[in-house]
Structure 1
């Protein structure tokens, strides 16, 4: 167990200081979701060293090694994310900065082909912190990077509707061609609404009569890409309601955006 802790601590510190405040990694001991005091101090030091105003959001993704059942490791990865989230919230990070907390369970490996099995497993017991920079594009970038936010003025919706217009589909077709050339790129589709009262965070979808319009807008884009052949494993979708107006008028707030989450 001491040997495992030494390795985990080494990788934890390497993850903190070898990268440039975009993706950081916290490593865990086998079958644990708690952190040692030294790891907690290093994570707090990282938080204190970052200029949070430069980042739009933080995403947390938890993983486990390949041992054990899917059910057990799904819960363990979620608990690891919760541990990191609690430390962030206790040290000045507000909840609205943490957009995604996702436990992704086991990292499957081929034990017969991996050169250093234990070292690989050590690396897979982790939580990744992705700090999303405030980099916004109005066209899909030629060389996208993790954290890029793409806001396309051609992909907007009628009031109260989640139906994709002909103009929106033409724009999505252009993005589809780009996605074919970036086969490993993963992204989140972010749905938005305008014009709701302060009492509500989302609007009613006229097609379903449910108050989840921003979710349905993002979901319809997800389904459109899926119908074109983009793997659903490359995409996620989420509704953000009325929390992030652009300040350019209601028409531009009835929108979807794309955030690059992995290359």
Structure 2
């Protein structure tokens, strides 16, 4: 199950969700344990690999326990859980100096009226939250590139959807991307004569692979799928299909900026 928030978003073993400038990874432990098994260790390492280390501003690590046991023991256990995650992050390439908080919070109390699914609730409280605070990406300013529809365009103008930056290997829209596309759809409904091509792009592929693999379909058509995802979104917002085409360009049109920008979709004006 995925949970979307604007300022705080949780990431668990199977869910990776990106927020505005904060990412949280929750690692779960067995009852009364603080050692990492192989699966947990791999999860932490894979999580770190998905993060652009140049954008990490600071890291906070908070350990928790369920509501059973003595309070003093739970504080010690939660600290041990936080410490073992700290060591794993450092081993995975995170610099110790940016880890600004390592804290055991002790037990998480449960409301008296919670009876159903009590074991599940407790299992989710036996965790460590790794809070990654990210530096924002700088805005792109290039000739012929805009971040919103203008009153006057010429054929060839490009609309850079600044918040439609996909995760590596993904063609799915997150909340931030959907909000950006909502605004764009309203503008496109206002300027009804504009026709455009939706162009999908990818980053970080080797030179001999012009296209990347979509991890959901397992096919090497990621940029095409990204463009189609935006096309489908606009269709649901009543943008006339006759105004739109969509195409994937693989890694053929890098912006020459941070690699994240190449995991993008642009609108290119084809008729005014």
- TM band (smaller chain): 0.3 to 0.5
Q: State which structure, 1 or 2, has the greater radius of gyration over its C-alpha atoms.
A: 2
| Structure with more helix by fraction | 1
